[in-house]
């Protein structure tokens, strides 16, 4: 027993020593501490401006008062349009803070540091950025404002999304899907990650594993929404999961150069949706499934594999067949993160309206995306600074909005033209699929 404890202690000490020798890990820890100090100074000395906080508290008050009809849960910014998880989380925040802004800022400051810590884990595990470039994750004035000076629900949704991604990197797919569903229950923008996530699940698991993981995610939504589904199902589903909302043209940073009558039209929304789907299909076929022979060949192989598994299961014992539902292949961390971040970025580019708080939807992926291109480092930094500049000018104008679209397009082009790496850890790349 003592020998076993000594072995475990030496192993722990070895892991700690290895981490301390990792320059990127040490630098990430220093960044986390420095940003925590910065966040404390922002809360102490930068004036807070109320935007949605009072509306959040009004909506929560109605919920805590017993209202279960989403049509009657309203605030000064309008009716409640977020799924039920939002109400539970902000009810807890109201309970802890008493509904007061200053203690809520402290809570969101902790949330900011927790989110940054998760992001740094993702970046260190993928090993895409050089150690010094991790500092870019702490340099956004707008993102600091979104978290600790605005208290938007986007912050909580993205923290959960990043936690979901971190879980998936450690091959915890079911846990990742449960957390992902929790993020969706806070704000619907997280669904931009759903198409690439589904593709990754099909690569990593058999069909039974995919279905069971999706069932876990669906169960989360059902349980969270159950009080509203039982009492007023139509009101809840139509308001909490409304994908056809039209945002005000004035507040948008994206497509501000488009005339307002066109901006709010349904045809413009349809064109953007088609562009979104076409870009996803193109990346899935030529980039994410390149080494599987394209998206059609990949889906065909999934169908053939599923038929074979069921055929084998019917002719073997249940004990033998149950083992076939485990993960099939281990995906590289870089492939997982690249697919997820690029899929979301495509949705950002094609989003009709991006309000200032929506920058948190993709800011933390920007350094990663830039370093996945083949651009020289100077151009990467120029693109990063340019995007940050566009998000820090208020109000936005047609020129900055057009510049933002151009910068996004350049980044997407860089991702499209970058070399495609073999996605799997468990197999060696075939020589016929190597990049020239």
- Give the number of other Cβ atoms within 10 Å of residue 58's Cβ: 16
Torsion over CA of 126, 129, 132 and 136, rounded to 10 degrees? -100
DSSP secondary structure letters along 107-157: HHHHHHHHHHHHHHHHHHHHT-S-GGGGGGGG--HHHHHHHHTT--HHHHH
Gap between the Cα atoms of 333 and 335, Å rounded:
5
Which region among 36-50, 235-249, 396-410 has the lowest average model confidence (pLDDT)? 235-249
Gap between the Cα atoms of 114 and 187, Å rounded:
19
Which residue range forms the structural domain that includes residue 66? Answer: 19-433
Over the stretch 3-15, which tens digit does the pLDDT of each residue have? Answer: 555 555 655 555 4
Which residues have C-beta within 8 Å of that of residue 85, sequence separation ≥ 6? 182, 184, 185, 186, 224
**Tokens in use for 197?**
């996530």
Residue range 156-177: average pLDDT? 97
Of 96, 32, 405, the closest CA to residue 253 belongs to 405
Query: How many structural domains comprise the chain?
Result: 1
Quickly state the pLDDT bin for 173 (edges 50, 70, 90): very high
Quickly state the pLDDT bin for 50 (edges 50, 70, 90): confident
pLDDT value, residue 104:
96
Of 146, 147, 132, 122, the closest CA to residue 30 belongs to 132
Quickly state the pLDDT bin for 432 (edges 50, 70, 90): very low
In this structure, the chain runs to a length of 436
Q: Does the pLDDT of residue 320 top 50, yes or no? A: no
**Tokens in use for 208?**
């039974």
Which residues have C-beta within 8 Å of that of residue 268, sequence separation ≥ 6? 258, 262, 352
C-beta separation of 67 from 58 below 8 A: no
Which region among 109-113, 234-238, 358-362 has the lowest average model confidence (pLDDT)? 234-238
pLDDT value, residue 12:
52
Residue 7 lies inside a defined structural domain of this protein:
no
Residue 127 lies inside a defined structural domain of this protein:
yes
Q: Does the pLDDT of residue 24 top 50, yes or no? A: yes
Q: What is the CA radius of gyration of the chain?
A: 23
C-beta separation of 169 from 368 below 8 A: no
At residue 434, the 3 state secondary structure works out as coil
Average pLDDT of the chain, as a whole number: 90
Gap between the Cα atoms of 185 and 27, Å rounded:
34
Residue 311 lies inside a defined structural domain of this protein:
yes
Q: Does the pLDDT of residue 314 top 80, yes or no? A: no
pLDDT value, residue 51:
87
Over the stretch 178-191, which tens digit does the pLDDT of each residue have? Answer: 999 999 999 999 99
pLDDT value, residue 307:
78
- Give the number of other Cβ atoms within 10 Å of residue 4's Cβ: 8
**Tokens in use for 5?**
């404890």
pLDDT value, residue 248:
81
Gap between the Cα atoms of 42 and 352, Å rounded:
32
Residue 365 lies inside a defined structural domain of this protein:
yes
Omega prior to 219 cis, within 30 of 0:
no
Residue 5 lies inside a defined structural domain of this protein:
no
Gap between the Cα atoms of 15 and 405, Å rounded:
44
Residue 8 lies inside a defined structural domain of this protein:
no
Residue 170 lies inside a defined structural domain of this protein:
yes
In percent, the amount of the chain with pLDDT more than 70 equals 89
- Give the number of other Cβ atoms within 10 Å of residue 134's Cβ: 20
**Tokens in use for 89?**
């989380």
Type and span of the H or E element at 79: strand 78-79
**Tokens in use for 6?**
């000594």
Gap between the Cα atoms of 112 and 297, Å rounded:
42
Residue 288 lies inside a defined structural domain of this protein:
yes
Residue range 261-280: average pLDDT? 95
C-beta separation of 192 from 349 below 8 A: no
């Amino acid at each position: 027993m003592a020998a076993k404890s000594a072995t475990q202690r030496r192993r722990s000490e070895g892991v700690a020593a290895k981490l301390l020798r990792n320059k990127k890990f040490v630098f990430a820890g220093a960044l986390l501490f420095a940003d925590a100090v910065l966040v404390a100074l922002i809360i102490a000395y930068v004036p807070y401006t109320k935007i949605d906080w009072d509306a959040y508290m009004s909506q929560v008050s109605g919920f805590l008062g017993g209202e279960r009809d989403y049509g009657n849960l309203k605030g000064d910014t309008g009716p409640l349009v977020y799924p039920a998880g939002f109400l539970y989380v902000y009810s807890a925040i109201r309970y802890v803070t008493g509904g007061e802004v200053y203690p809520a800022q402290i809570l969101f400051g902790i949330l900011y540091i927790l989110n940054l810590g998760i992001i740094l884990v993702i970046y260190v595990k993928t090993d895409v950025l050089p150690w010094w470039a991790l500092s870019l994750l702490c340099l956004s004035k707008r993102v600091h404002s979104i978290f600790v000076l605005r208290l938007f629900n986007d912050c909580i949704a993205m923290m959960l999304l990043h936690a979901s991604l971190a879980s998936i990197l450690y091959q915890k797919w079911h846990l990742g899907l449960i957390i992902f569903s929790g993020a969706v229950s806070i704000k619907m923008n997280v669904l931009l990650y759903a198409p690439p996530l589904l593709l990754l699940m099909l690569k990593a698991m058999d069909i039974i594993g995919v279905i069971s993981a999706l069932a876990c995610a669906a169960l989360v939504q059902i349980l969270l929404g159950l009080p509203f589904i039982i009492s007023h199902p139509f009101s809840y589903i139509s308001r909490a999961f409304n994908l056809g909302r039209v945002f005000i043209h004035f507040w948008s940073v994206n497509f501000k150069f488009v005339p307002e009558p066109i901006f709010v039209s349904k045809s413009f929304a349809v064109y953007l949706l088609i562009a979104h789907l076409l870009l996803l299909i193109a990346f899935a076929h030529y980039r994410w499934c390149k080494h599987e022979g394209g998206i059609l060949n990949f889906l065909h192989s999934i169908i053939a594999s599923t038929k074979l598994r069921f055929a084998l299961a019917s002719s073997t014992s249940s004990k033998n067949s149950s083992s076939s539902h485990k993960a099939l292949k281990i995906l590289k961390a870089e492939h997982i993160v690249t697919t997820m971040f690029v899929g979301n970025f495509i949705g950002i580019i094609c989003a009709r309206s991006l309000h200032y708080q929506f920058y948190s939807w993709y800011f933390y992926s920007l350094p990663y995306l830039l370093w996945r291109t083949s651009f020289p480092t100077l151009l990467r930094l120029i693109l990063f600074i340019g995007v940050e500049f566009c998000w820090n000018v208020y109000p936005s104008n047609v020129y900055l909005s057009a510049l933002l679209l151009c910068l996004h397009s350049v980044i997407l082009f860089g991702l499209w033209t970058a070399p495609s790496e073999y996605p799997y850890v468990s197999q060696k790349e075939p020589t016929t699929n190597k990049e020239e």
